[in-house]
Structure 1
């Protein structure tokens, strides 16, 4: 169930989650438990305008992986809201739709500090900054740029982070290498049973 608390502040953590790994979960859980956010929704994107869709696993597979990964955490939720929206998915469109659908909630965009300097390239980025707060987790070695001190942006410097990439996990699986400890046990079991990301997996 989604939060029923009126005016609840909900963090939106967008990603392809291809697949979701412990690095994603550490960030999401920090934001959900050590900020003023009531919940964090992990929004599974069907297509990132800046990425090729060819490398993506099927939408429902990635959504299922997110669900099993966070099943034991009451403050995290999986969202497939973008599956029903026009593609490619743009953040401003999703934010606007969610605000119209849930007028009793305050939505906050969660993003990495490495992405903040590119925000001006996003569709209608000025509207995002006007209408929504941004919670930015600082990434060591990346400059936040001129938007760092924007009144709608709050920077968090102590968010634990791990140098894990979904592409490394996919490549490891394709090469027959173990990915234990990089993903949660339920995710690992599904990856093994489904054959997801293996080179010889037949496309449906």
Structure 2
């Protein structure tokens, strides 16, 4: 199902994978499928952002990135959405606060690659995110050590759920986070752009 405003029932556990998806690729698809399985999620929403505040250059137009994401991600339990643009939120913490207010009774799990955990302390209100939403981290090539040694991982170490119990993450009261090692697809949006396989127009 791919719609701009996802339908969800109270009691469901929804994984949220945010990013510019500039462009979406097989690596995004792979970690989404792994997240559904490893964290026992009912579904995953791709939050295709209007822009990444940590990046100096703007991404391709939102409509183009949405269309590409829908072509790449074909799964009945994954929804590609521009809900951040509709909410008017710029930062992840703002988005999560709005979603929690609009979808009461729904359990959200924030999903990210290990590369994002390594720089998570640079995100606005990152400690609020960790304290209010369970976080599922999926290892990507070359990012495991820096992620495990990151300020966020060290500060919230007491709240880490062992990988063998990853299926409990969505049912855990935050703060709660889980780091899982999965067979990864070593593909990145920046590499695709550098190779000329995607343009911002």
- TM-score > 0.5 by shorter chain: yes
Shift of 1:119: 2.3
Greater per-residue helix proportion: 2
Do the aligned partners of 1:6 and 1:104 also contact (CA within 8 Å) in 2?
yes
> CA 1:172/1:81 → structure 2, altered by over 3 Å: closer, same or farther?
same
Distance in 2 of aligned mates of 1:144 and 1:114: 10
Alignment correspondent of 1:76: 78
Do the aligned partners of 1:116 and 1:147 also contact (CA within 8 Å) in 2?
no
Task: Tell me which moved more, 118-127 or 106-115.
Answer: 118-127
TM-score scaled by length of structure 2: 0.77
Alignment correspondent of 1:130: 131
Give SS of 1:18's match.
Answer: coil
Give SS of 1:115's match.
Answer: helix
Q: How many residue pairs get matched?
A: 175
Alignment correspondent of 1:166: 189
Which structure has the higher relative contact order (CA within 8 Å, separation 6+)?
Answer: 2
Gaps of 5+ in 1: 175-195
Distance in 2 of aligned mates of 1:91 and 1:168: 24
Distance in 1 of aligned mates of 2:114 and 2:176: 11
TM-score scaled by length of structure 1: 0.76
Give SS of 1:49's match.
Answer: coil
Structure number, greater radius of gyration:
1
Give SS of 1:169's match.
Answer: helix
Work out which of the residue numbers 157, 164, 167 in structure 2 matches 1:149: 157
Alignment correspondent of 1:50: 54
Do the aligned partners of 1:148 and 1:155 also contact (CA within 8 Å) in 2?
no
Q: Deviations over 1:45-85 (max 9, x none)?
A: 1111110243x1100110111122223x1111111011124
Give SS of 1:142's match.
Answer: helix
Distance in 2 of aligned mates of 1:3 and 1:12: 14
What does 1:1-204 correspond to in 2, within 5 Å? 2-54=6-58, 56-71=59-74, 73-86=75-88, 89-139=90-140, 140-145=144-149, 146-147=154-155, 149-151=157-159, 152-173=175-196, 197=199
Shift of 1:6: 2.1
> CA 1:61/1:39 → structure 2, altered by over 3 Å: closer, same or farther?
same
Give SS of 2:196's match.
Answer: helix
Distance in 2 of aligned mates of 1:158 and 1:144: 12
Distance in 2 of aligned mates of 1:150 and 1:76: 31
What value does the CA root-mean-square deviation take over the aligned residues?
Answer: 2.1
